[in-house]
Amino acid sequence: MSGDHIVALSGGVGGAKLVLGLSHAVAPEQLTVVTNTADDFDHFGLRVCPDTDTVLYTLGGLSNTELGWGRANETWTFMKTVAALGGAEWFNLGDGDLALHVLRTEALKSGQSQTEVTAAMARSMGIAAAILPMSDQFIQTRVNTPHGQLAFQEYFVRDRCEPQVTGFEFDGIDSAVINPLLLATLEGPVRAIIIAPSNPYVSVDPILAVPGMRAAIKASGVPVIAVSPIVAGTAIKGPAAKMMDELGVPSTVVGVAEHYRGFIDGLIIDQQDATAAADIESSGMPVWVTQTVMKSLDDRIDLANTALAFADQIAGRSQSL
Ligand code: FO1
C-alpha cells in the first residue's frame, strides 16, 4: 500500500548516517527506524544497546562523530576509576553514556519494554521519528570462529574484529517477537522500506531473522531498497568486507546483491562500482548508481532522497528519474 511513511532498518555507524539523512528528507513523523538489538549486551550489570543508542544519539544531535559511537563532549571519569579499581577496561562507557545505561537498566528492571524505554529516551532528546527496537526480547549475536564462539562485543571491540568468522548465531531469535508497533506501521500506508548501509551479517540479518519480519515486509508490498555498505571492495567502516572474504563471499557490491537477492527490489551502489551495475541488473536486480559515501549532512540527505526516488520509481509512482 503506497503512502508517505518510511521504514528504515539500521545498525551500526553507516546505518545511522543514512537515517539522519532520511530524518531531513521527510518529516520526522513520517520516519520509523527499526534498530538491530542483537549487539546488545550486559556490561557491569547494565544493558548496553549500541545500535539503538547510535540512532538515538545521531537523531538527537548528541553523537560522538570522532568515535562513531557514544556521546559527543564525553568525559571518562567512570572508566578511569574502573581502571584504577582493577575493573574491565575493554569496553568504554563514557560518563554521559553511562547515565543512559543506568536509567535504561532501571526501567527494564521495573518492567518497561525496550520499546518503551527507547521511546522515552527519544522524547527526552527531542526526537520525533519513531525508533523501534526490532524486538523487545533479548537477542544476542554470537560469532563463530575456528577457535570457538565469541559474544559479539568481545569479537567487535575486545578482539577488534581480528578473529576469522565462520558464521553467526542469534541467541534468543527463535522466541523473539517482532515489534508490534512495526507490524502496525507495515500494515499502514508505507512509501518505502530502506535497508541502510549497515553490515549485512551482524546488523541487517538479525533484524530480518526476527520471526515474521521478512514475511511482514514482503506482505506490505512496499519497495525494499538497500544501500550497499561495500564500496570498491571495502566497507566504509567496520568488518563487513573482511567477513565476506572469510565467508568466501565476494566482498563486492555483487556479493551484497547476492546476499539480499529475493528480498530487496533495488540496490544502490556507489559510482566507484558503476561497472558492476550491468552484471547486477542482468541478474534481475534493479540498480541505482550514485554517491553513497556520506561525508557531509548534504551527502546524507542526497542519498536519502535518492533511495526514496528509487523506491518511487520501482513502485511506478514517478516516470522521470
Ligand atoms: N566500540 C569500540 O570500538 N570500543 C568501545 O569501547 C565501544 C564502546 C561503546 C559503548 C557504547 C556503545 O553504544 C557503543 C560502543 N562501541 C564501542 C561501539 C559498538 O561496539 C558498535 O557500535 C556496535 O556494537 C556495532 O555497530
Whether the per-residue pLDDT at 62 is higher than 60: the answer is: yes
Identify the band that residue 318 occupies on the pLDDT scale cut at 50, 70 and 90: low
For position 3, what pLDDT does the model report?
77
Residue 158 lies in a domain: no
Residue closest via CA to ligand 1's atom 14 equals 50
Whether the per-residue pLDDT at 321 is higher than 50: the answer is: no
Q: Is 81 exposed, middle or buried (0-12, 13-18, 19+ CB in 10 A)?
A: exposed
Cell numbers 518511487 correspond to: 312
Residue 149 lies in a domain: no
Residue 156 lies in a domain: no
Whether the per-residue pLDDT at 110 is higher than 90: the answer is: yes
Site to substitute for ligand 1 among 35, 51, 69, most atoms within 8 A of C-beta:
69
Cα 63 from Cα 127, distance rounded (Å): 13
Cell numbers 548496553 correspond to: 48
Q: Is the CB of 15 under 6 A from ligand 1?
A: no
Q: Is the CB of 206 under 6 A from ligand 1?
A: no
CA 69 to ligand 1 centroid distance, Å: 6
CA 263 to ligand 1 centroid distance, Å: 29
Q: Is the CB of 240 under 6 A from ligand 1?
A: no
Give the pTM: 0.97
Residue closest via CA to ligand 1's atom 26 equals 12
pLDDT > 70: what percent of the chain?
A: 98
pLDDT > 90: what percent of the chain?
A: 96
Return the beta strands (E) in 218-293 as ranges: 224-227, 230-231, 234-235, 266-270, 287-290
- Do residues 137 and 172 make contact, with C-beta atoms less than 8 angstroms apart? yes
Q: Is the CB of 48 under 6 A from ligand 1?
A: yes
Whether the per-residue pLDDT at 160 is higher than 70: the answer is: yes
Mean pLDDT of 170-186: 98
Residue 153 lies in a domain: no
Residue 147 lies in a domain: no
Q: Closest ligand 1 atom to the C-alpha of 152?
A: 24
Q: Which residues span the domain enclosing 310?
A: 5-142+171-320
Residue 162 lies in a domain: no
Number of domains in the chain: 1
**Taking each helix axis from N to C terminus, what angle separates 95-109 and 77-84, rounded to the nearest 10 degrees?**
80
Q: Closest ligand 1 atom to the C-alpha of 49?
A: 13
Whether the per-residue pLDDT at 2 is higher than 90: the answer is: no
Cell numbers 582493577 correspond to: 86
CA 20 to ligand 1 centroid distance, Å: 19
Q: Closest ligand 1 atom to the C-alpha of 160?
A: 3
Mean pLDDT of 228-237: 94
Residue 269 lies in a domain: yes
DSSP-derived letter for residue 69 is: S
* Beta carbons within 8 Å of 258's beta carbon, 6+ residues apart: 249, 250
Q: Is the CB of 197 under 6 A from ligand 1?
A: no
CA 164 to ligand 1 centroid distance, Å: 20
Residue-averaged pLDDT of the chain: 96
Residue 155 lies in a domain: no
Identify the band that residue 162 occupies on the pLDDT scale cut at 50, 70 and 90: very high
Whether the per-residue pLDDT at 319 is higher than 70: the answer is: no
Q: Is the CB of 39 under 6 A from ligand 1?
A: yes
CATH number at residue 191: 3.40.50.10680
Q: Is the CB of 74 under 6 A from ligand 1?
A: no
Question: What is the identity of the amino acid at 157?
Answer: V
